[in-house]
Structure 1
Amino acid sequence: MGEVWGLMLWSLVAGTMMSGTGTRGQVEDELKGQLRVGFYRQSCPAAESIVSSVVRDAVLSNSNMAAILLRLHFHDCFIEGCDGSILVENGPVSEKHAFGHQGVGGFEVIEQAKAQLEAACPGTVSCADIVALAARDAVALANGPTYEVPTGRRDGRMSNMSLASDMPDVVDSIEQLKSKFSRRGLSERDLVLLSAAHTIGTTACFFMTERLYNFIPGGGSDPSINPGFLPELKARCPQNGDVNVRIPIDEGSERVFDKQILQNIRRGFAVLQSDAKLNDDPVTQSVMDSYLGFFGPVFGLSFEADFVEAIVKMGQIDVKTDSGGEIRRVCSSFN
């Protein structure tokens, strides 16, 4: 569905350009304020290949980088929309320093791509688009689906940690998670699919301590953890141990983008508490089940295609276009 969505979007744009009686100028005016696949086709033809090359080198150097870049896109879009605001370093109040953004990285990869793009096409490609393109390339490099990214975002002019209070948190209840996603125009299915992005990457024991040793209410361990999995988690993240130790989020498949994480969640093998909470709601349960077993493919459901649709949808949250933003020369600072 995601690949079809991208192709349909471009087909609609191309159809508009090839049909009707409007002039080319009128068509260009109609496209202003809209994201579209191939936005830089004329202004910077090498834009997407430059980003892809930088991301490929980064992932080859650090196998966890694919997950890091995918997470960066999510965190950017959830605050102030997909506008590159998380990249800005403007002192202690910078959005990137918010508690909800702990562990977010990949900034140096975006800056490297930006530097090459500025050399090739000065003042043309936004940092916000680089983040979205880098996430797409990261998914593909993890053997996930390939898809088209509508581009044309401008970079935001605001970055403040106070705006990040509504980030989804690993300790949120399922109702809190559903509410936070809904406020960004995302459905329960989007919640499941975007949570499934945890199929690649690792997390720090820091995010496991309370779940393993002081779960509320009552203390002790989270009872939703499969009893056969609990000793393994405790061995990797011992009480009073190094909270910076990293463990795979998708047990047994942390390097490959696939739907195994949904099976792990349903069986009580979720590493993150927020993922486990998807079992606490009949709607999110049914969404997960729709991709498991033999019936999903029969009824036309594809985890990969639906994930693409969800991430493309997320990538259009409150985007800035035209005069609504700027094209930063350096991603870490406003012009």
Structure 2
Amino acid sequence: MKSNMFSFTHSLPTTIFLVLTIFLHPSNAQLNSSFYSSTCPNVSSIVRSIIQQALQSDTRIAASLTRLHFHDCFVNGCDGSLLLDQGGNITLSEKNAGPNNNSARGFNVVDNIKTSVENSCPGVVSCADILALAAEASVSLGGGPSWTVLLGRRDSLIANPSGANTSIPTPTESLANVTAKFSAVGLNITDLVALSGAHTFGRAQCRFFNQRLFNFSGTGSPDPTLNSNYLATLQQNCPQNGSGNTLNNLDPSSPDTFDNNYFQNLLKNQGLLQTDQELFSTNGSATIAIVNNFASNQTAFFEAFAQSMINMGNISPLTGSQGEIRIDCKKVNGS
């Protein structure tokens, strides 16, 4: 496919080819890997160093920081809007939206990174780019792939809590709904399966999946796709009238390591969230073959995940003179 596209465009006049390239990949033309090479050359190592420190006392932080980038990009694009606290012109924060309230975490580590980056190169690096760099460092420090992070995003002046409530996939949605939400931001079915693989590390609270354990879809019975031994373990950890905040490993086999065990768990009906298991258990879905591939080939998963993270990082960034470079990630400058 790629070679055909190249040979086709190669025969076009150069100006048309350039116009096509810019039209097809607007954000790729604006973001680039060397954006801070002269203005803040140490930014990647600063980010990585602070996450390494944070991991010493919080094994969950790598997964939490990766999730922040995801939840930021799905609302108004990758613009750091998730990081804004309520106050000033921000009447409502995305932090208080359903998908983030009492579950999004790692904001203190982002603040520590920002402080250190400001000390090294003040007023240069955006909070949106810090989230992108933090996600890559978190995945690679967890044993996952590395990739070249494209940079040059700027920070939004607004938050969009209603967008967070409607655009971010929820753990109880159908595969069709989740696919539509990915499609709405330009991500395809391979991106969906690959990015779901981030659930190879981290934790989830009982409230995000307990409907599967006792009363799935109003049936009065558990989700039939749940492995019976796994179901018993989860029912013990998340009793019917227990705390909805109890944490459970998203990947019971290697909860703090970024690997392809997540996909192997799906083959055994041990996906924790409904949206996890549906990737494999939805009859006739194109996702099944991708899950099988990633379960048997970790290299294929790592390569796809790295590309999908780059694709996700390209969602509608603010560039040029749009937005600003926030000095404090929690608030708009001057507020």
Answer yes or no: same fold by TM over 0.5: yes
What is the identity, as a one-letter code, of the residue corresponding to 1:135? A
The equivalent of 1:70 in structure 2 is 66
The corresponding residue for 1:257 is 258
In 1, Cα distance between equivalents of 2:324 and 2:235: 47
CA deviation vs aligned residue, 1:155-206 (integer Å, no higher than 9, x gap): 0111031121221000100100110000111111110000110000111111
1:286 matched to 2:289: yes
Tell me the distance in 2 between the aligned counterparts of 1:143 and 1:168. Answer: 26
Q: Write the deviation string for residues 281-328 of structure 1: whole angstroms up to 9, x where unpaired.
A: 5200111112233xx58xxx6111111000111011011101122100
Q: Is the 8 A contact 1:33 1:321 kept in 2?
A: no
Confirm or deny: 8 A CA contact 2:46 2:116 kept in the other structure.
yes
Is the partner of 1:99 in helix, strand or coil? coil
Could you list the per-position Cα deviations for residues 23-42 of structure 1 after superposition, in whole angstroms to 9, with x for gaps in the alignment?
Answer: xxxxxxxx996111121110
Match of 1:54 in 2: 50
Corresponding residue SS for 1:203: strand
Partner of 1:111: 111
Q: Give the Cα separation in 1 of the matches to 2:269 and 2:111.
A: 39
Q: Does the residue aligned with 1:323 lie in a helix, a strand or coil?
A: coil
Q: CA deviation at 1:145?
A: 1.1
Residue of structure 1 aligned with 2:312, choices 314, 319, 322: 314
Q: Are 2:96 and 1:101 aligned?
A: no
Q: Kindly tell me the number of residue pairs found equivalent between the two proteins.
A: 300
Q: Deviations over 1:223-251 (max 9, x none)?
A: 11012211111111111112211010012
Distance 1:75 1:282 in 2: 25
Q: Taking every aligned residue pair, what percent have the same amino acid on both sides?
A: 41
The one-letter code sitting in structure 2 at the alignment partner of 1:132 is A
Distance 1:235 1:123 in 2: 50
1:312 is aligned with what amino acid?
Answer: I
Q: Could you say what secondary structure the match of 1:229 adopts?
A: helix
Alignment RMSD: 1.6
Q: Give every structure 1 segment of 4 or more consecutive aligned residues whose post-TM-superposition deviation is greater than 2 Å.
A: none
Separation in 2 of the partners of 1:33 and 1:142? 30
Q: Is the 8 A contact 2:48 2:134 kept in 1?
A: yes
Q: What is aligned with 2:12?
A: none
Q: Which residue of 2 aligns with 1:90?
A: 86
CA distance in structure 2 between the aligned counterparts of 1:317 and 1:116, rounded to whole angstroms: 27
Q: Which amino acid aligns with 2:72?
A: D
Structure 2 letter corresponding to 1:319? P
8 Å CA contact retained: 1:204, 1:246: yes
- Which aligned pairs between 1:114-153 and structure 2 lie closer than 5 A? 114-153=114-153
TM (norm. structure 1) is 0.86
Which one is further off, 238-247 or 119-128?
Answer: 238-247
Structure 1 spans left out of the alignment, 5+ residues = 1-30
Q: Distance in 2 between matches of 1:126 and 1:287?
A: 35
Within 5 A, what are the aligned runs for 1:105-254? 105-164=105-164, 165-254=166-255
TM-score for the superposition, normalised by structure 2? 0.86
Q: Is 2:75–2:160's contact at 8 Å kept on the other side of the alignment?
A: no
Asked if structure 1 preserves the Cα contact closer than 8 Å seen for 2:226 and 2:269, the reply is: yes
1:259, distance to aligned residue in structure 2 (A): 0.8
Q: In the alignment, what sits opposite 1:7?
A: none
CA contact (8 A) 2:62 2:142 kept: yes
Amino acid at match of 1:101: N
Compute the displacement of 1:109 (Å): 0.8
Q: 1:263, 1:209 → 2: CA distance?
A: 22
Does residue 1:79 correspond to 2:80, yes or no? no
> Counterpart in 2 of 1:16?
none
Do 1:200 and 1:257's aligned partners in 2 also have CA atoms closer than 8 Å?
yes
